[in-house]
Amino acid sequence: MNVINIANQFKSESDAIAYLEQIRWPNGVRCALCGCDKITKIKSTSKKQAVRHLYQCGEATCRQQFTVKSGTLFHDSHLPLIKWFTAMALVCEAKKGISAHQLGRTIGVSYKTAWYMCHRIREAMKDGNRNPLGGIVEVDETYVGGRKLGQGTYEGKQNKMPVMGAIKRGGELRYEAVPNTKVKTVKPFITENVSKTAQMVVTDESAIYPGMLKHFEHRHQTVCHSKGEYVKFRLIHTNSIESAFSLLKRGYIGAFHKLSAKHLHRYLAEFETRFNNRKNKNFFEYVLEQMASNKPMQYKALTS
C-alpha cells in the first residue's frame, strides 16, 4: 500500500480506526488487558478534544477502558492513525530508508515525534521467525559508522560497528550487529542462520571462516578479494551479500548519516525485513499486524 492508496482508502480517522480494529481483532474486539470478549463500545465527545473511540471491558474484575491503540506500538500516541499509516507506507517503500527529519517534514510532525515513530516502526519490522538458510549461502562481514572525530577520513575499521550478513542466493537476507569479528563471536551467527545441509557456503578469504565452517568440508568455497578474485566458475562469489551491504550503506550515508550502536539492530531489522519482503504486495499489512501485536515501546526506555 502506497501513500496514494492510503489517501484514497482512508477518508477519515474513523476509517483508519475500523481498519486497525479488523487487523488487530479479526474475530471481534477483545479486552486489551484481560482478553475478555464482553465489550461495550463508547464514543466520547468533548469540546476540548476530538471524538475518542473507546471500549470498556464487561468483566466485573476488569472494567478497563481501552482503545484500538492500547497495548500496541501505537500506545499513548495522540497522532491520527492516518499519519501513522502514511509514515509506515513511506518507511516500507523507501528502499534506502527515510530519515526522521524528512519523515517529519512530509507528514507534518516534529523531529522528535518522527524519530520516535521510526523506531517503533522498525521494532515492528523485526522478524521473529528466522529459519536457517539453505541452498547456496553467502556469508560476509562489514563495518558501518565510526567516523573518527577531528579527522576528515575514515581510519580503516577504527570505531566502526561490525555487522555480519548472510544471504541465500536469490532468497532471504540475515543481518546481525556483533561486538567484534572474533571466531567465538561470529560462530553463533553462522550456527543460527546457515543450515547444516546448505548446498554451499561462500565467503571471502578471512581467517575467521575456515575453522567454524570446517564441517562443510568441500561445500565451503572462498574467493580471494585481496588478489582481485571476485568470481570463480561463475558460481563461487559473494556478490549478493556485497550488494545487500551496499544498499545498507547507501541508506546510512545518504539518509541517516549517523547510526548509534545502541539502535543499530533496529536499522538492520528494517533493511533486512524490507529486502526479504521486496516482492510482498501485502508488506504494509504485515507491518501493521506487527505494530498491533507488539508491546508498547516507551520513549524513556528508548532514550535511556
pLDDT band at 218 (very low <50, low <70, confident <90, very high): very high
pLDDT in the model for residue 129: 82
Spatial contact of 289 and 23, defined as CB atoms under 8 Å apart:
yes
Q: What is the pLDDT of residues 139-148, one digit of tens each?
A: 999 998 766 5
Distance CA 247, CA 165 (A): 12
**pTM, 2 dp:** 0.90
pLDDT exceeds 80 at position 242:
yes
The superfamily CATH assigns to domain 136-261 is Ribonuclease H-like superfamily/Ribonuclease H (3.30.420.10)
pLDDT in the model for residue 274: 96
Look at the block and give the residue holding cell 572462498.
222
Q: What is the pLDDT of residues 153-172, one digit of tens each?
A: 444 566 789 999 999 999 99
- What residue spans define the domains of the chain? 3-124+282-303, 136-261
Decide: residue 287, CB within 10 A, 0-12 exposed, 13-18 middle, 19+ buried: buried
Q: What is the pLDDT of residues 75-107, one digit of tens each?
A: 999 999 999 999 999 999 999 999 999 999 999
